[in-house]
Amino acid sequence: MCGIVGYIGENPERNLLYKLRLLEYRGYDSAGIAVSRGTSGAPSENNPLAVTKRAGELKNLENAVAQAGVTAGARLGIGHTRWATHGKPDATNAHPHVSSDGKWAVVHNGIIENHCELKRFLQNEGYSFYSETDTETIAKLLEYFEKRGFAPLQAIKRACDVLQGSFALAVLHENDDAIYFAKNKSPLYLAFSKRSNKKTATVQQADADAEAEGDLFIASDVVCFNDFAEEYYALPDKTYGFATAEKAEFYDGTGEIRLSSEKINAKSLCLRNNYAHYMLKEIYDTKNAIKEETDYFKTHLTRENYPLLFQPRAFKKIILTGCGTAYHAALTGARIIEEKCGADCEVYVGSEFYNAGYKLNKHALVVLISQSGETADTLAALTFAKEKGAATLAMINAEHSTLAKAADMALPVNAGAEIAVASTKAYSCQLVALYALAQTFQAAERQLPRPDLSGADELVKRLSYGDEEELRSFATLFGEGKKLFFIGRGTDYFTALEASLKIKETSYINADVYYAGELKHGFLALVDENAYVTAFATQKDTFLKTLSNAKEAQARGAKIILFTTASQEETKPYENSFFRILRVPKTDDALQSVQNVLPWQLIAYFLSVSKGLNPDKPRNLAKSVTVE
C-alpha cells in the first residue's frame, strides 16, 4: 500500500522508474519522483528539487519524465507509487510532497495518525497547505525544525519524535548528497549495488558502519533489489538515518542495536514471461509452487525446527487469522485441523481479532496467515496475541516480511512472488500449508517424526486447471448481467467466498454468497428468474442437501449451475435440474479446496479480461494493505 524508493547513482531516471514499476502492485492511484544533483548543483538553480508527479498509473509519470527531461544531471532521487488514504487520487495529492521553501521533498508509506493536530499547529505557525494528505505535514514539519536551527538529520529525528502512526519515509534535502529515511511499522529496506564484507550495521554510531561502493537503493520491498544485491538491510521500527552512495548510518535514539543484513531469496524474482497478465501466470504457477512448497516442508517441517508444533496437545486452542483471501484460507484450514487432530479451532478476520481476546493465553496458538506479511490488520493481531502471551506462528509467503520476523515461528508457504493484486497461487499454497500443519499436529499426536504429506504429492500429480474454453464460456455466462448467487456447505462455502471475492475484485461484478441451508431463511426473497445460482457441491456428505437448496431456488425461477466432483453417472438422476454443470476432479478431502478454487480463479480472470479490465490492477485496491 504505497511504494517508496530512493536512489543515489548515475541513472536516477531509469532506476527510479524501473523500481517504481516493481512496486506498482502497492498502489497505482498516482506516481511521482523528486530528483536533485546534490552538492554539484541542482537540476535548476531556482528549483533545487525537481518534482514530477502525475495522477493514475505509472505510465503517465513515465511519459511526463521522458518529455520534460527532468532527471538530466541528477544523482539523487526519491519516488512513490500511491494508494490513496488521505485525499483523492489526483496529481496534487500525489507524492513527493514538498516544504513551503521547496528545500525538502518527502515520499511516505503509512498513515500519520496525528496529522490533523500537527497541521493545525503548523497553520498557527503560518504554514499553508496545498494538499489533503497527511504526508505534506511531514514536509512542513521538517522545514519548521530546520528553521529552528536543526541540521537535516536532527530535523528528521525531531519529526520522528512527534509523528504518530506508521511511516516509511525517504526524504531529499536540497543540495545534500544524502537521502534521509525513517521507519515505523511500514516496511523499509536499503541495499548497495556492491556490498562491503560487513554483515551488520550499528545503530547510534557516528562513524559509518554500512560502507559500500556503487549505487544506493532504498525501497518498500526487497523485490527491488533482486537484480543486483545479495544482501540488504531490513530496517527495524523506530529507525531513522541517512545514506549516501558510500555509507549508511542508522539511529534509533536509544542505544545500540544490530540491523539484520539478509540474503535475498532469488525466487522472489517474478517475470510475466509470455502471459498476458501476472494473474494468469500466477494461476498457472500453482502446480509448481505446491510442489516446491511440499518439498520444502518435507525437509524443513521437522521436530528440530518446530519443536512446539510437535508437542502433542501443546495448545488448548488454535486460533487462525488473516484478511481477505488469507482469511478464507484460515476458514478452510480450521476445518482441516479440527478433522485431522480434533483440535479446538476458531477463525477471525484480522481486524476483528481483538474479539478473540478472552480466549488468548499461553495455552493458545495463533496462526497468522498472510501473503505479504505486511498487512496492518494481521500485524495488529500479532501484537495483540503476543501481549496476551499466546504462541504465534506466521504463515507467510514473503519470507523476510515484518510478520515473519515478529512471530515466534514462521512457516513460509513458498508460492514465489505474487504480483497481481488478486491473490491466487498464494491462496492455494496457504491451503497446502494448513494441510501440512494439520498433518504435523496429527504426527505429534501419533508420536511420528514428521508429517505425512503424501496427499500433497498426489495433488500435484492430479491437479487440473480445467479446460480454458469451457471456463471462458462460464465467464461469458457470468458476464451476462444476471444476479449471481453462490451457495455451499462446509468448505464448499469457503471456496464460494473466495470465488466470489476473485470475481468481485477483478470484474466488479457482485456474487452473493450464502450457506446453502440459509437461503430459505430470508435470502430466497432475492431470487427470481433473473438469477443464476451456483451450487458448490463437491462433498459427498452434503451433496444432496445442497442440491435440494438449489432446487428451492430453481422453483423460484433461478437457473442452477452445479459445481461438483460427482461423475456424469452420479448426476444423471438430477440432469434436468441444472442449467450447466462444471466438474472438477476428486482429490484427498483435506486438499479438495485447492483443486476447487483453480477453475474459479480462471473464470474470474477471463471475466475481467472480457470486460476490458486489467485483472492485475483492480480499481481502488493495492496488494499490500499496510493501513488498519
330 binds ligand F6R (CB under 6 A): no
Options 137, 375, 593, 601; binder of ligand F6R; rule CB under 6 A: 375
Between residues 252 and 418, which has the closer beta carbon with respect to ligand F6R? 418
Cβ atoms of residues 3 and 220 within 8 Å:
yes
422 binds ligand F6R (CB under 6 A): yes
Rounded to the nearest whole angstrom, what is the least distance from the CB of residue 617 to ligand F6R in the complex?
12
Give which of 309, 371, 377 is closest to 343, Cα–Cα.
309
Options 32, 187, 324, 599; binder of ligand F6R; rule CB under 6 A: 324
Site for ligand F6R in 473-502 (CB under 6 A): 501
Give whole-number Cα distances, 419 to 29, 272, 282, 298, 394, in Å: 17, 9, 8, 27, 21
- The residue range among 54-62, 184-192, 372-380, 559-567 that interacts with ligand F6R, by the rule CB under 6 A, is 372-380
Rounded to the nearest whole angstrom, what is the least distance from the CB of residue 478 to ligand F6R in the complex?
17
326 binds ligand F6R (CB under 6 A): yes
608 binds ligand F6R (CB under 6 A): no
Other CB atoms closer than 10 Å to residue 334's CB: what's the count?
23
- The residue range among 183-191, 323-331, 453-461, 511-519 that interacts with ligand F6R, by the rule CB under 6 A, is 323-331
505 binds ligand F6R (CB under 6 A): yes
Rounded to the nearest whole angstrom, what is the least distance from the CB of residue 265 to ligand F6R in the complex?
17
378 binds ligand F6R (CB under 6 A): yes
Give whole-number Cα distances, 74 to 4, 39, 94, 117, 609, in Å: 18, 11, 21, 36, 40
For residue 43, give the C-alpha cell. Answer: 537540476
Rounded to the nearest whole angstrom, what is the least distance from the CB of residue 293 to ligand F6R in the complex?
15
Options 85, 239, 371, 554; binder of ligand F6R; rule CB under 6 A: 371
Give whole-number Cα distances, 427 to 85, 147, 187, 292, 347, in Å: 26, 51, 22, 15, 16
Rounded Cα distance between 103 and 47, Å, is: 9
325 binds ligand F6R (CB under 6 A): yes
Between residues 1 and 459, which has the closer beta carbon with respect to ligand F6R? 1
- The residue range among 88-96, 210-218, 322-330, 351-359 that interacts with ligand F6R, by the rule CB under 6 A, is 322-330
Q: What are phi and psi of 387, to 5 degrees?
A: -60, -35
Cβ atoms of residues 507 and 560 within 8 Å:
no
133 binds ligand F6R (CB under 6 A): no
Beta strand 483-488 pairing with 511-515: parallel
Rounded Cα distance between 550 and 574, Å, is: 12
93 binds ligand F6R (CB under 6 A): no
Rounded to the nearest whole angstrom, what is the least distance from the CB of residue 207 to ligand F6R in the complex?
38
- Among the options 119, 157, 281, 623, which is catalytic? 623
DSSP annotation of 518 reads G
370 binds ligand F6R (CB under 6 A): yes
Rounded Cα distance between 296 and 288, Å, is: 12
| Residue in this structure with the C-alpha cell 466438474, named with its chain if needed | 583
332 binds ligand F6R (CB under 6 A): no
423 binds ligand F6R (CB under 6 A): yes
| Residue in this structure with the C-alpha cell 542505544, named with its chain if needed | 255
Helices (H), 203-320: 278-284, 286-300
Closest-approach residue to ligand F6R (CB): 324
Rounded to the nearest whole angstrom, what is the least distance from the CB of residue 548 to ligand F6R in the complex?
32
- The residue range among 50-58, 318-326, 454-462, 469-477 that interacts with ligand F6R, by the rule CB under 6 A, is 318-326
Between residues 131 and 372, which has the closer beta carbon with respect to ligand F6R? 372
| Alpha-carbon torsion, ordered 244, 248, 254, 257, to 10 deg | 170
Cβ atoms of residues 434 and 326 within 8 Å:
no
Rounded Cα distance between 375 and 174, Å, is: 34
623 is catalytic: yes
Helix axes 425-445, 592-610, angle to 10 degrees: 170
| Alpha-carbon torsion, ordered 52, 56, 58, 63, to 10 deg | -60
367 binds ligand F6R (CB under 6 A): no
The count of chain residues that interact with ligand F6R, using the rule CB under 6 A, is 15
- Among the options 2, 160, 224, 323, which is catalytic? 2
372 binds ligand F6R (CB under 6 A): yes
Q: Which residues are tagged catalytic?
A: 2, 623
Residue ranges binding ligand F6R (CB under 6 A):
323-326, 370-372, 375, 378, 422-423, 501, 505, 624-625
